[in-house]
Structure formats: C-alpha cells, structure tokens
C-alpha cells in the first residue's frame, strides 16, 4: 500500500479550538498547541480566547499546506450552564456541537482514503470528562471543585468525582437546552448492548475495543464493564496515521 497521501488535512477534527503557548501556560486547548503554532507561523492570528476556531490546514502532495478560515456561521457552539448552579455559566465554558474527525485514513478493500472526514454526534463524557476535564486539556476540575465548595486538598472528599459529575451534567443540560443532539454514556452503553444482541441474533459476531467502549465515568454501571470483547480489527475501517506536523 502506498503511504504518501495526495491530500492531507492536518487538523485532527475540522472544528477545534486553538491552544496558545503563552510561556506561563496554555490558553485554549493544549492538544492543538503544535498546530496553533504552525498556523501562527503561517501568518494566522487568533483572537487569543480559550475558544478560538482554528483554520483548516490542507496540503496537496508536497505543496505547502494552505490555511482556510472556517465560516463562523457554519459552526454551532453551545455555551455551558448547569441546571442547579447558576455560577456555572460564569466559567464561560463552551464546546462545539459536532465532532468531525479528519485525521484518520479510511481503508476499504485495500484502498486507502487519506482525506475522509466523518462525524457522529457527541457522547457527553467526551466533552465533560475528557476535553474539559483532563489535566492535559482544559483541566477545569479544580476550579469547579472549589466553586462547589469541596475540600480539594484531599482525594478522600472525592471532589474530582463530584466535579466531574457536575461538569458532565452541565454538558448534557446545555446541549439539550440548545437543541443539539448528544447522548449520555448510560444510554450509549444500552444502545451498544442492544446492538450486540441484534448482531448475535443475525448470526454475526461483534468486535470491539473495551478501552474505547467503556465510558470514563461510572463505567461499572454499564454492561460493557462486565463484558469481554473480541478485539479483532476488521475492515472497512478508519485507521490512525502518524501525527507529525508539516514543516
């Protein structure tokens, strides 16, 4: 299989927020710091907020990648609020509505399609636990834990668990309020359980990677936790490629 893609989208998703290295920390999404730096080296100037949309970086063959600003009106974003804590809106958090993965290679019948963006809709934990909660992403748990009045100096208060739950509730609540589709992790696990049954009933076997099927929160409350999966990788499928940036 030849490995030099003709068209390459350098963004990991078509919609993502910039991450600016200020010297004293990252403003925005640390995960995009390298791409943000590259865009800046190409003359792109972001506003400098924690939620600036990155331009698309698209490369054809060996030519220099071109930058394309996303038309602002095409991107739906959801400001976050909490159903019980009014102060939550003051954190001025938000996320975009649609995750469109654009850095994977689609393989069908031995052919590789290097520029094949695809989207679904979000599961709440992707945003509420990982994007906004991970320490190497927006890292919002300490602030939320403190606003909730929890003892954040001791793990024993389970402040992280409780802050995570509050953040996840805010994500689901806000997407619902704005009429943007999102699935919670309990419903998604139930849906997958039904899929497993239906596939078996149809005489097909199910494969899956448990580490991806398990939600990061409340995992033991889902059937996935108590199930083993055949990790065979079948095609057609999407595959990762190495992530080094253009220079």
Choice between 54 and 123, CB closer to ligand ARG: 123
DSSP tag of 202: T
Choice between 130 and 194, CB closer to ligand ARG: 130
Indicate whether 120 belongs to the interface with ligand ARG (CB under 6 A). Answer: yes
Answer whether 100's CB lies under 8 Å from 117's CB: yes
Tokens representing 243 are: 């992530």
Pairwise CA distance, residues 188 & 172, whole Å: 13
Pairwise CA distance, residues 137 & 152, whole Å: 19
Choice between 11 and 81, CB closer to ligand ARG: 11
Tokens representing 84 are: 């019980």
Specify the 3-state DSSP secondary structure of 12: coil
Q: From the list 58, 101, 148, 158, which residue makes contact with ligand ARG (rule: CB under 6 A)?
A: 101
Q: From the list 51, 88, 122, 175, which residue makes contact with ligand ARG (rule: CB under 6 A)?
A: 122
Judged by CB under 6 A, which stretch of 63-71, 80-88, 126-134, 149-157 contacts ligand ARG? Answer: 126-134
Choice between 81 and 129, CB closer to ligand ARG: 129
Choice between 16 and 169, CB closer to ligand ARG: 16
Q: From the list 46, 55, 99, 145, which residue makes contact with ligand ARG (rule: CB under 6 A)?
A: 99
β-strand 56-60 against 66-68: which pairing, if any?
A: antiparallel
Pairwise CA distance, residues 244 & 247, whole Å: 9
Indicate whether 58 belongs to the interface with ligand ARG (CB under 6 A). Answer: no
DSSP line for 94-117: EEES--EE-SEEEEETTEEES---
- Please give the C-alpha separations between residue 134 and each of 123, 129, 192, in angstroms, as whole numbers: 16, 7, 25
Indicate whether 184 belongs to the interface with ligand ARG (CB under 6 A). Answer: no
Supply the minimum distance, in Å, between the C-beta of residue 237 and ligand ARG.
15
Number of residues that bind ligand ARG (CB under 6 A): 9
Indicate whether 131 belongs to the interface with ligand ARG (CB under 6 A). Answer: yes
Q: From the list 27, 39, 123, 172, which residue makes contact with ligand ARG (rule: CB under 6 A)?
A: 123
Indicate whether 31 belongs to the interface with ligand ARG (CB under 6 A). Answer: no
Please report how many Cα atoms fall inside a 13 Å half-sphere around the Cα of residue 142, on the Cβ side.
8
Tokens representing 34 are: 């390298």
Judged by CB under 6 A, which stretch of 45-53, 125-133, 148-156, 193-201 contacts ligand ARG? Answer: 125-133
Answer whether 227's CB lies under 8 Å from 209's CB: no
Give the interface with ligand ARG as residue ranges (CB under 6 A).
99, 101, 120, 122-123, 126-127, 130-131
């Amino acid at each position: 299989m030849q490995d030099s893609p003709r068209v390459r989208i350098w963004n990991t998703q078509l919609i993502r927020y910039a991450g600016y290295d200020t010297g004293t920390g990252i403003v925005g999404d640390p995960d995009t710091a390298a791409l943000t730096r590259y865009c800046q080296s190409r003359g792109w100037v972001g506003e400098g907020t924690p939620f600036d949309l990155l331009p698309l970086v698209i490369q054809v063959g060996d030519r220099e990648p071109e930058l394309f600003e996303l038309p602002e009106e095409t991107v739906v974003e959801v400001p976050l609020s909490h159903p019980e804590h009014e102060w939550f809106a003051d954190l001025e958090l938000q996320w975009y509505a649609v995750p469109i993965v654009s850095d994977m290679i689609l393989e069908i019948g031995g052919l590789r399609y290097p520029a094949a963006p695809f989207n679904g809709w979000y599961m709440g934990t992707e945003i509420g636990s990982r994007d906004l909660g991970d320490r190497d992403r927006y890292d919002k748990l300490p602030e939320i834990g403190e606003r909730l009045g929890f003892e954040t100096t001791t793990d024993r208060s389970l402040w992280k668990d409780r802050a995570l739950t509050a953040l996840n509730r805010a994500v689901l609540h806000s997407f619902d309020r704005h009429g943007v589709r999102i699935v919670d992790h309990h419903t998604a696990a139930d849906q997958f359980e039904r899929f497993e049954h239906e596939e078996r009933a149809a005489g097909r076997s199910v494969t899956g990677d448990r580490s991806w099927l398990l939600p990061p929160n409340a995992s033991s409350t889902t059937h996935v936790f108590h199930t083993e999966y055949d990790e065979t990788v079948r095609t057609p499928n999407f595959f990762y490629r190495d992530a080094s940036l253009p220079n």
